[in-house]
Structures are given as C-alpha cells and as structure tokens.
Structure 1
Amino acid sequence: MSKTNPLSGINSLCLLDAAALAKAFGAGDVSPVEVATAVMDRAEDINASLNAFTFVDRKGALEAAAASEKRWRAGEPLSDADGVPTTLKDIVWVDGWSVRYGSKTTPAEPYRADAPAVERMRAAGAVFIGQTTTPEFGWKAVTDSTLCGITRNPVDPSKGSGGSSGGAAVAAATGAGVFHLGTDGGGSIRVPASFCGIVGLKPTFGRVPAYPASAFGTVAHLGPMTRSAADAKAMLKIMSGRDLQDWAQGAGQLAPLDDEAVDLSGLKIGYWSEPPVGAVDADVKRIVDARVAELRAAGASVEPIVLPGENHLDLFHHHWFTGAAARLALVPESERAGIDPGFLDIAAQGGRIDAKGLIAAQVRRSEFGSAMDRLLETYDFVVSPGTAIPAFEAGLEFPADGRYRRWTEWAAFNFPINLSQQPACVIPCGATPEGLPVSFQIIGARGADARVLSAAASLEVLFSR
C-alpha cells in the first residue's frame, strides 16, 4: 500500500486544537455541534480503511455538543475543554457504553459508571465521540483482535498502528478528535504514538486515578494522546487528581501541573541510546542522534547513560505475565478457545511463576525504581528514541524478520519506565526514508509531568526548524 498523509483532505474544523476551539466557541465563531459533526464524519471516513474505532456514538456526542453550545452561548462553559471532541479506549469504563477490552469473552451490556478519568473529562464538558480499538485485554504493543480486527497505520496502512492504544493513536493522527484517552502498561501509549507520529504521555504513576484496578497492577497508567504537547497538558490537567477509588495512588500529593517554560540551554540531559534488549533500527538511531545534536547546539549538556540494573526484560515479564494469568483467571474455561494465542501463552508462563518468584521480582523492581529516581536527581531529563524500530507489518506481534519473539523485545525503550513509574512523553522527530514516523522520548523525575510536557513543547519548536 502507498504512503498517505494522515490529514489529507480533512475538514479544517478537525485541525483546531483545544485552545483554538475554546477561543472559537467563546467568540461564537464555531459551534461545538459543528465540530462534533465534522470530527465524527472524519472518524467514520477513516475507520473504513484504518479501523480505529469500535463505534462512533453520534447520538450521544451530538446531545453533549448541543448542551455545550448552550453553555458557551450563555457564557457559562464548564471549562476551557467544554465541547472538545474526545475518544476513549475500549479498556476504560464509560457510563452507557459497552466496554469489551477487545475481547469476545466480555459481556456486551453497557456499563453504568464512568472510570474516574472519564468522569473528570465528562465534568469538564468534553464530548465523547467514540470508542477506540485495543488488542485483547491490552496485552501487546500492537492493535489487532478477533473482536475488532486489525488497526492500521495512517501513514502506511500495510503497517500496524502499534498498541495497545492503537485506535487512539490513529484517531489523533487523522484528526478524528482532539483528546484521546489511552492506557500504558508497557508502552501502550508511547508505542502507537511513536508509530503514528503524534504526542503520547505516560504520566507519573498515580497522577491519573485508575479504577477499576488493572489486572497488570501498578505498571499500568492512564494518559493523554494528542497532536501537540499543549493539548496533552490540557487533557492531563483535567484527568489528574486524587480519587478514593484508587487506593494505589497513595495519600500523598504530586507536584501541581503548573505551566512552566523549560529553557533547553543549561539543562543536564542523559541520553539513553541503547535498549536493555534488542537493537535500535539504523534509521531511528540516525534521526534521534541528529536531534540530540540539536539539543547540544541549543545549549543543553548531554551525556550518554546506561539504564541502571540488569535483566529488565525478565523483571518486566514477571509482572506482566502474572498479570495476564490473573486476567485469564476471570474468564471461564469454556470461553477461552477464541482468545488470542499470544495472550494465552504469556498467561500460561505467568501461571508458572510462584509467590516467591513474584515477591523477589517486586523487590528487584523497587531497587530499579530507586536507581531511576537517583538517576533523575542527577539529570534534568533522560531522552531516548520513542521506540527502537518504526512501524512494521500490520497484524503481527513483532516484525517477520525473525529478530524478536515477543513484543517486549522491540519495545525495550518503553516497558522499563512502567516499572519505575516516571513520566515519559514521546513526540515526533522525523521519518525514515520510507516515510514512517520516528519519535523522541523525554523522561523526567516522578511528579515532574509539567516539566516533561514543557520540555516536549520546547523540543517541538526546536525540531520544527
């Protein structure tokens, strides 16, 4: 299939960011109903070839948009995000929607409660236009399932979108919404954002409340996927905060998400250039190395670093595979025949990890997390490629060239930061000779989400020159 421009032929209303929409709504230049209609038309148009949505909620979205229009006309919007088109991944609870987790084993009945992050977006007036695709139970870093089929890359539909928030990434890249709620347990926001050429943030763990708790435990985060760092920050501010349903957040308060410009000059940055497993694609390395050189030219001090600790892949597998086993245990034996074989395989491996092995892995994780905290006391940020490889063939868990046996082996710039829980943002930074997006990852200290997003915004400017 030929390469495409994800925004080709798009209605200009679909290109407005959250700030521009608030300004237009406030001035009466544009109606939330007009915008919602344009965005849903776009979603349905791209879905025929890319399969980003499980469904588009035209009736519910138009009702919400009409209510938003009345509030803006009265000068009483719920927030600056009132009327902003938003998508939600098929893995978070939404009142009135069937949430299937990408699986035929889950009930099709609508839920009667919002997840906390969804509730906060609704309270801010966001207009929910539809639900985006995920692989079964969000288990892998590509997006395909027996329930929904294959989600394809908007730049080259012969390639995959990445995952597990693949539908959200495609929706963002094609202008089918402004805010997109994704989840990230091992790269599931950052991988598809990288493959599709958008911005994706895995926040500090606990920044965004999560309920119900993920079967994959405290490696799983909720976060924003957007076309700019500014939109990611706006969305994150809405979703963030304490919720008593999420005990894992802890009782402490994270640093506020204040706006703070980050001057690249004088920053001390660690460059993490080699993943703990696998190898970096030559084009990805060339492009990211060139961006690091631009950082140096802008006045930042950049030093090579090595990730602390060892056996990161084994450590992550202990957490991820046991989570898969816990999730599978909820599915009756009689309903397991059609489950993704890859998920069944890792769940079987997780089932063979005993309590002593899991506790030992948790101790190792705490040691790694402490080492990462110390590293980010030394450096303002750590940067790396967004992913080690660009997008590859659609419908596969890993490239067909035989280099890898699991998705984790090519997503090794991603899953370690789930173990250590720092905020990590990817932004586009170039393209391979084939036109496939390449991304740049910015990692900050726990709680420093605002600084990470501000640095991402500064790098967007630098990289666009």
Structure 2
Amino acid sequence: MAPSPSAANPADLTATELLHLYARRALSPVAVTQAVIARAEAAEPRLHALYAFVPETALAAARASEARWMRGEALPLDGVPVTIKENIATKGVPMPLGTAARDDAPPSPADAPATARLREDGAVIVAHTTMPDYGMLSSGLSSFHPLTRNPWDLAKGPGGSSAGSGAAAAAGYGPLHLGTDIGGSVRLPAAWCGVVGHKPSYGRVPLDPPYYGRCAGPLTRTVADAALMMRTVSRPDERDPTALPPADLPWLDLDGLAVRGLRLGLVMEAGAGLPLDPGHRTVIEAAARLLAEAGAVIEPVGPLLTPGMLDGLDLFWRQRASLDIEALDEARRARVLPFIRDWAAGGRDVSGAMVFHGMSQMAAMRDAALTAIRPFDFLIGPVSPNPPFPAEHASPTNDPARAMAHIAYTVPFNMSEQPAIAVPAGFTPDGLPVGLQIAGRRFDDVGVLRLARAFERIRPALRPWPVVG
C-alpha cells in the first residue's frame, strides 16, 4: 500500500481524497492551497522545484473554486492544486525552456491544450516546475533555473527533464503535477523521486506543438491520481494534428483487471547504455515475484535495443539541438549550459546520410518494442539502470559523449507510441527510490494504469514521504 497521508497537513492529501472532502464541505480549496503554498515556501530555498510561483494568483483561483463548490457548481478537478512543467504553455507566463539563452522569453499568448483542460476543470495552478536546458537532460541542472534537488537526498538530482515535477510531487507540493516525456522525462524523475509517472500513448494527450515521441503526462503519488489527471488532460484539442481520436475511456475504473493469468514479459537487460545497478535488479526481481505470486505468468524477454539504435537516436537529437543553438547569436549561445553545447556540437558537421540513419533508429526502436510485446499483455522491468546521481551532474555519466546511456529502458516506448508508467517498487540499500516500469500495448493506457494499481496494492509498504524545509 502507499504511505498514509498526514492527516495534519492537507498538502499531503491525494486529489481523490480532496474531491471527496470538498464535496462533504469538510475541507476548503483555500485551506488546501494555503497548505501547499506554505509547504513550498518552506522547502523551496533548498529544493528549487518551482518557476513562476505566484501564491496570490493560486489563492485567487482557490477562492473562485470554493465559491463554485458552495454554489453546487463544482468542476471535475475543482480546487485541486496542480503544477505544470515550464515548457507547457500557460497564458501570460514566459517559457524559457530551461535555458538562459531564452531568459527574455515573452509571456505565452495562450494556454497549451493540457493547461487549458486543467483550467477548464477547475484545477488550481500553483506554479510551474523547473527543467534543464531545452529539456535535453535527465537532471535538474539548468542555466536558467536554480539547481533542482531530490527530496529523498538533497545531494542527489531528481532526474529530468521533468525535474521540478518529480521533486514537487515527492515533496508534497499538492497532488497533481504535469510533465513531458520524449525519452523518459516523466518516468525517470518519477522513479528517482519515488512517485508515479505515466507516459501516455502518443497522441493521447494533445500537444501544441507535437513532436516525434513527445508526450505530456502526470506525476502523482498514487495511480488513482494519475488516472484522474489523465481523464482531464486527454480531452481533445484541434491544435494537435497527431492526436488520437477522442475516446471516452474508463479512466477511473482501475479495478477491472485480474492479475491472475496475465502474460507479462520481464525486460531486465536493455541491450544498450549503462548496466543495471544491482540494487535496482533486486527490487525489480522482487516486484516480478509479487506479480507471479498474484497469478501472472512471467517470461524473460531479451534486450529491446542495440547500441546502434541508441547511438543513432543520440546523433539525430544532437543534430536537432545543434541547429537550434547555432541559430542563436553568439551572446545567447554562450548562455546555454556548457554540457548541452558540448553535447550538441557532436551533431554540427554530420552528413545528411548520418542524420537520416539516426532518424531511422526511431523506427527500429518502434519495431523492436512492438515485436517484444506481441506475445504478452504487458512488459515490465526497470525504469532506469541506475539510482539518483549527484545533483550537480548533468546526467548519470556526466559525459556529453554518453549523455543518453541511461534512457535505454524508457525511450523504446516513446518511439513505439506505447503507454508506459513508472510506479514506486522499493528502495536501494541507501534508501533511494526504485521504480517499476509497466508498458502496455499501443493505446492501452487504461490497462497500464490498472496493472500499476494492482501492483500498488500488493507491494510492501513504502517509506514515509521525505520532509524538506
């Protein structure tokens, strides 16, 4: 079971619990927002998870929500605090994309699709959350934002690129947090911060603009809250030409899956990148045993990737980043995080044939992931090969030449457009969180959430949430 929330602090209540309490008039959205603001103000001097944190704006939204509840006109997420990753547009808020090269970014002219849906459903936007330069690191290191740290150990990073989202969720800055994921950027910080992180099927949550493999999804403390958030942010928006057709999915029906008889493929070796840490291996093997004891049929699956696939994708992303950075004037280029400049330089002078080969690795990853899941209902395995790493490092290797060595378990499911979730599974011997990844067939977001919920119920009790401040 999940850790029990602190009854003394509304900031620790789940969104599901808050909505029940609001409906009974047992708790006010204003009181909850005040608790979240107080939690953030106490922790932010050390954690640095937030951007564009304006408490007065959040309190005004909470007062409007309270009035709707009193009139009997409550909306689906009315009064529930939420944070939104900095690269998801909110009208009136600048979007620097984590880099000092855009420190004069103008206010966004309109809400992004997910932001619009959250606002329409009455969620209280407390703040935005930090990210590294251009979202191209799995860390909280940024040339624009202060260094974001991991609530479980402030010497460690939270992961990224949804760095602030993962840190805010673990630290209890309210229940709902929205991130983005193109290679693991929701699932990695979720795993390293000990929270749930759902990467939806590609196109399930409309984006503006969309891009290959990129998804927006929730980071929460419980699977039920992730499903609740998905019900809202998955509603259609015509600005995304790649979005899936509108679908009325049973997001909140999380008990409709029996573990007994499920066919689960266990992916323990990624085939590329860093080797699996022994502490992670122990936790994931224990999680697989729990599912087997619950009646699942588990079979080993070979590596999904080859080193060539990961290297090719890395080259393609370097070339894309190089084009963006080279388009800046000299002064702006100098403001980009040096690690990112060094990494992108590897894509500066590549041939068209090399770029085409690199891009083709997205299709190779897609085919490998879809082939792997074909005999199974779901694939399970690690989210990351390594535990949280020093906060000051740009990546687990801290080496631009091996910047993507840690994403081999997560990135295949971006390229294959499959839903995948990180759910807390246990802890390393040092007390740092370890996440279990569950990937489903294309478009089976509800199934992934249901299996994650089933695992959430059978895993051993987790440690109490960290307190920062």
- Taking structure 2 as the reference length, the TM-score comes to 0.91
- Which amino acid letter does the alignment assign opposite residue 69 of structure 1? E
Counterparts in 2 of 1:368 and 1:111: CA distance versus 1, 3 Å: closer
- Which amino acid letter does the alignment assign opposite residue 264 of structure 2? I
2:137 pairs with one of 136, 140, 143:
140
Structure 1: gaps (5+ residues):
1-5
2:406 pairs with one of 406, 410, 415:
410
State yes or no: 1:256 paired with 2:249: yes
State yes or no: 1:64 paired with 2:61: yes
- Which amino acid letter does the alignment assign opposite residue 354 of structure 1? S
1:89 pairs with one of 79, 85, 92:
85
Inter-partner Cα distance in structure 2 for 1:293 and 1:167: 33
Inter-partner Cα distance in structure 2 for 1:318 and 1:241: 34
| Paired position in structure 1 for 2:465 | none
State yes or no: 1:298 paired with 2:294: yes
Matched position secondary structure for 1:149: coil
2:271 pairs with one of 269, 276, 281:
276
Matched position secondary structure for 2:341: helix
Inter-partner Cα distance in structure 1 for 2:169 and 2:40: 10
| Equivalence map 1:11-410=2 (5 Å) | 11-79=8-76, 81-106=77-102, 107-213=104-210, 217-249=211-243, 252=245, 256-258=249-251, 259-260=253-254, 261-277=256-272, 278-308=274-304, 310=306, 311-399=308-396, 405-410=401-406
Structure 2: gaps (5+ residues):
462-469
Inter-partner Cα distance in structure 1 for 2:283 and 2:27: 39
Counterparts in 2 of 1:114 and 1:305: CA distance versus 1, 3 Å: same
- Which amino acid letter does the alignment assign opposite residue 87 of structure 1? T
Counterparts in 2 of 1:27 and 1:330: CA distance versus 1, 3 Å: farther
Q: CA deviation at 1:399?
A: 4.3
Q: CA deviation at 1:18?
A: 1.3
2:443 pairs with one of 440, 443, 447:
447
Counterparts in 2 of 1:9 and 1:159: CA distance versus 1, 3 Å: farther
Q: CA deviation at 1:256?
A: 2.8
- Which amino acid letter does the alignment assign opposite residue 101 of structure 2? T
Q: CA deviation at 1:333?
A: 3.1
Counterparts in 2 of 1:279 and 1:9: CA distance versus 1, 3 Å: same
CA contact (8 A) 1:14 1:39 kept: yes
CA contact (8 A) 1:158 1:394 kept: yes
Counterparts in 2 of 1:7 and 1:406: CA distance versus 1, 3 Å: farther
Inter-partner Cα distance in structure 2 for 1:331 and 1:305: 45
Inter-partner Cα distance in structure 2 for 1:8 and 1:75: 27
Q: CA deviation at 1:53?
A: 0.9
- Taking structure 1 as the reference length, the TM-score comes to 0.92
- Which amino acid letter does the alignment assign opposite residue 37 of structure 1? Q
Q: CA deviation at 1:45?
A: 1.1
Inter-partner Cα distance in structure 1 for 2:287 and 2:332: 49
State the Cα deviation string for residues 433-457 of structure 1 (Å, max 9, x = none): 1111111000011100111011101
Counterparts in 2 of 1:329 and 1:83: CA distance versus 1, 3 Å: farther
Q: CA deviation at 1:404?
A: 9.0
Counterparts in 2 of 1:403 and 1:293: CA distance versus 1, 3 Å: farther
- Which amino acid letter does the alignment assign opposite residue 127 of structure 1? V
Aligned residues: 454
CA contact (8 A) 1:408 1:415 kept: no
State the Cα deviation string for residues 310-337 of structure 1 (Å, max 9, x = none): 3221232134223322432453333111
| Paired position in structure 2 for 1:3 | none
Counterparts in 2 of 1:234 and 1:142: CA distance versus 1, 3 Å: same
Query: RMSD of the alignment, in Å?
Result: 2.2
Inter-partner Cα distance in structure 1 for 2:267 and 2:49: 32
Inter-partner Cα distance in structure 1 for 2:367 and 2:250: 23
CA contact (8 A) 1:7 1:174 kept: no
Inter-partner Cα distance in structure 2 for 1:84 and 1:307: 41
State the Cα deviation string for residues 167-196 of structure 1 (Å, max 9, x = none): 111111111021101011111111111111
